[in-house]
Structure 1
Amino acid sequence: MERRGVSVEYAKKEVRRRTTLIGTLLLKFGYGDGLICGTYGMHRLHREFVETVLGRREGVDHLYTGKTC
């Protein structure tokens, strides 16, 4: 079985510079109930971080992406 993912060093570097990753990890480990992100940057990038870390439950087709007014 081949390891998938990124190196520990790369992961540490990305978490230090990506607040969306910090928030997603807090959710993963039970320190939060929800996450609002994307005040700047591309929506797709934020969504990819969340999907990579959390994944989706069985039967869930998409993430909720609220619209701004």
Structure 2
Amino acid sequence: MTSSNEKKKVPLIQFIKVDEASTSESATKDLHTIKTGEEEKLEQKKRDEFSSKQQLRSENASSNVS
């Protein structure tokens, strides 16, 4: 029973080592770049919405003043 448990543990450790090795810096950077590209689109959309709200507020404020 003990020997079968040891056999199960060895491939798991090997898998983790291989996984760490395959996650190179360049691969991580590529994933990060892809993610930030999508995030950038969302941020740009938020910025556009925010700026249009700000513009409406400033127009409303100026019309209230005059």
With structure 1 as the length reference, what TM-score do the two structures score?
0.21
Which of the pair is proportionally richer in helix? 2
Using CA pairs below 8 Å that are at least 6 residues apart, which structure has the higher relative contact order? 1
> Larger Rg: 1 or 2?
2
